[in-house]
């Protein structure tokens, strides 16, 4: 397996999965962020502070953002950042997919507030 994502932090489970050949284990912790474990160690990312309207779809949105980063060959830290942003967007409005960014909008997620975007 390439990747396993789940929502609990059980160190023995992470070690078992890595020992069984899973290359990356992503542990999602909601508002407490997420951590990716692989053979080289762990990379953590905080959740993005946002006014939460609902919690539906946050974990799925994080996973979608993380996986899209994998498809774009981004390093783990950038995948985590994209996943966290997608998760934050998911809870910022009503519904579980309406706030999801399109592929064309993904670069906008990392622009500075001072940058002009057209």
Q: Does residue 16 have an active-site annotation?
A: no
Give the Cα-Cα-Cα angle 41, 44, 50 (nearest 5 degrees). 170
Contact 34, 44 (CB under 8 A): yes
Nearest-Å Rg of the Cα atoms of the chain is 15
Of residues 59, 73, 43, 55, the one with CA closest to residue 5: 59
Catalytic residue among 16, 38, 60, 115: 60
CA dihedral angle for residue 106, residue 108, residue 42, residue 74, rounded to 10 degrees: 50
Catalytic residues: 60
């Amino acid at each position: 397996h390439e990747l396993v994502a789940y929502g609990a932090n059980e160190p023995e489970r992470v070690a078992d999965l890595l020992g069984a050949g899973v290359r990356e284990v992503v542990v999602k912790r909601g508002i407490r962020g997420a951590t990716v474990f692989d053979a080289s160690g762990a990379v953590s990312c905080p959740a993005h502070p946002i006014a939460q309207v609902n919690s539906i779809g946050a974990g799925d949105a994080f996973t979608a953002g993380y996986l899209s980063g994998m498809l774009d060959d981004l390093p783990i830290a950038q995948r985590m950042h994209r996943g966290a942003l997608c998760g934050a967007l998911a809870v910022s409005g009503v519904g579980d997919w309406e706030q999801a960014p399109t592929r064309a909008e993904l670069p906008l997620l990392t622009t500075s507030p001072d940058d002009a975007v057209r």
